[in-house]
Structure 1
Amino acid sequence: MPRPRPRILYVTDLTYPARGRRYCDEDIDLTSRLREDFDLALCHPLDAAALMDGFDAVVVRNSGPVLGYQAEYDAFRERALRTGARVYNQLSGRADMAGKQYLLDLSAAGFPVIPTVDRVEDLDLLPRTDRYVVKPKLGADSIGLEIVEADRLPALADGSVLIQPCVDFSYEVSFYFVDHDFQYALYAPDTEKRWQLEPYEPAPADLEFAQRFIDWNGIDHGIQRVDACRAPDGRLLLVELEDLNPYLSLEALDDTRRDAFVAALKAALHRFARA
């Protein structure tokens, strides 16, 4: 008797108005491919906790920032952890899944991250510059991000925000992983157009940089995106490690690379759902 196809609950908000991106198109296209291998249903993130018991795995994708429904998201996490539900991405993420505190911790530990502090007493640890980036520790999708001059920093450094120098970078680049395996990289050659992305061929040192953060995070099952910028001295510096629901920019890939990513995701979900 043929083995039943795994049942997947795919969590997405098809109406989320992302700036410069169309989340709904990505999830519509991706689920059409995943249905080739899985029995799949889509649901809004507010419905996930009530529906997930009937599925072999829950895949959290373009569900938008959880700030607008924090209580419901916390209830979903609590129920998933209590019942042992299989959630992809794995809920043990130490990066954006848990807020922005990790940028402060990694900076203090000497990782290649944009220098980051959160206290008035530590402002002297940052490089001197004309402008600084201030963002909430619990922010997402640039919500609450400000670029300010130095004289405003003492009033803002109250422990609830992160403060970084405004880096004059050459470009931003993102590295995409399924589980621990690198899939592709994209970059924005125009610094004023963050989401106009093109394929990027990473050097070995670039992949070593990105892999270091994937290894640090320790997620065994999930899609992660390592966002970095190329600093004036040529180094890559971490901007963000998205481990909750990273947008994949699949529309920027050619058919060959997109097919390879889908194949890798299918294989990962088969392993995950049947483990």
Structure 2
Amino acid sequence: MNVPARTTRPSLLFVTDLAYEARGRRYGDEDVFLTARLREEHDVALCHPQDAAALLDRFGLVVLRNSGPVVYHREAYDAFRARARELGARVYNSLDGRGDMTGKQYLVDLSRAGHPVIPTVDRTADLALLPGAAEYVVKPKLGADSVGLRFTGEPSLLGGADGTVLVQPRVDFRYEVSFFFVDQDFRYALYAPHPERRWVLEPYAATGEDLEFARRFVEWNTLTHGIQRVDACRTREGELLLVELEDLNPYLSLDRVPEEVREGFVDRLKAALRAVPG
């Protein structure tokens, strides 16, 4: 019996760390789900971020997902970016964003420019620009997942405020909320109604004003294509302030949205991947 030849399908390298342990989130489960759905259109292979640079020239498209904070594999990530640019590889997210994929300098820049972000400085000379607070947050510019984060009551005692760390007032907020976009297309929002349980998320009905706030930062970013998560906090006075603009490998919390929202996200992601120029 003759077996019909298989039609060639596009190949996809999915960069993830299935073993990475994140507080309150299951990165591996989310990526197992996503790769199962992407296999409907692609031949998919998974690899660890430390292997990505060596493998990317064998695939038509590379997708960066839940690979953990870059701080744990900085050299491998830099090698991947350099190799991808050398090859002109099709990468999703594109490597031209200016949010978290380049560190957290953008929080300082946005704060200086008067955008609605948590006030942020990165040098001792600028500490006086911060509003008074009972407590201050100190975190590294290249950190993630609360790596290296600490609190202090006296910003004048922060010897490390030399351009490598960020200093912010600790904001008393009502809740945190995240807005998820695919190629600048808003898909859904989630919030943590209980601040002490950051990753116990529930669907959030975003208002027009909320979306105007979130789109402000998506449009400010220089990302050509990709998934972005705009994290914000709602202050006691009702104002939204940017906490983070995640444009590298934002966790999607797909297990926290209704099935129809999850399916709509997958469909939109598939369309976005088909549209990546090459």
TM band (smaller chain): over 0.9
Question: What root-mean-square deviation, in Å, do the aligned CA atoms of Structure 1 and Structure 2 show?
Answer: 1.5
Give the match for residue 33 of structure 2. Answer: 29
SS at match of 1:98: coil
Which runs of structure 2 are paired with 1:138-177 in the superposition (5 Å)?
A: 138-150=142-154, 153-177=157-181
Distance 2:275 2:201 in 1: 31
Cα displacement (A) at 1:154: 3.9
Cα displacement (A) at 1:118: 1.6
SS at match of 2:45: strand
- Whether contact under 8 Å (1:57, 1:87) holds in the other structure is yes
Cα displacement (A) at 1:114: 0.3
Stretches of structure 2 that go unaligned for 5 or more consecutive residues are: none
1:14-41 deviation digits (Å, cap 9, x = unpaired): 0001111110000001111111111111
Q: 1:181 aligns with which of 180, 185, 194?
A: 185
Q: 2:70 aligns with which of 41, 66, 72?
A: 66
Judge which range, 112-121 or 201-210, deviates more. Answer: 112-121
Residue 179 of structure 1 aligns with an amino acid whose one-letter code is D
Cα displacement (A) at 1:3: 7.2
Q: 2:61 aligns with which of 53, 57, 79?
A: 57
- Whether contact under 8 Å (1:9, 1:55) holds in the other structure is yes
Which runs of structure 2 are paired with 1:1-275 in the superposition (5 Å)?
A: 4-150=8-154, 153-272=157-276, 275=278
- Whether contact under 8 Å (1:119, 1:159) holds in the other structure is yes
- TM-score normalised over the length of structure 2: 0.95
- Whether contact under 8 Å (1:180, 1:220) holds in the other structure is no
SS at match of 1:52: helix
Residue 46 of structure 1 aligns with an amino acid whose one-letter code is Q
Distance 1:18 1:26 in 2: 12
Residue 14 of structure 1 aligns with an amino acid whose one-letter code is L
**Aligned in 2, Cα 1:201/1:96: closer, same or farther, shift over 3 Å?**
same
SS at match of 1:139: coil
1:173-200 deviation digits (Å, cap 9, x = unpaired): 0000111100100000000000000000
Q: Percent identity?
A: 64
Stretches of structure 1 that go unaligned for 5 or more consecutive residues are: none
Residue 58 of structure 1 aligns with an amino acid whose one-letter code is V
Distance 1:104 1:64 in 2: 23
Cα displacement (A) at 1:50: 1.0
Q: How many residues align?
A: 274
In proportion to residue count, which structure has more helix?
1
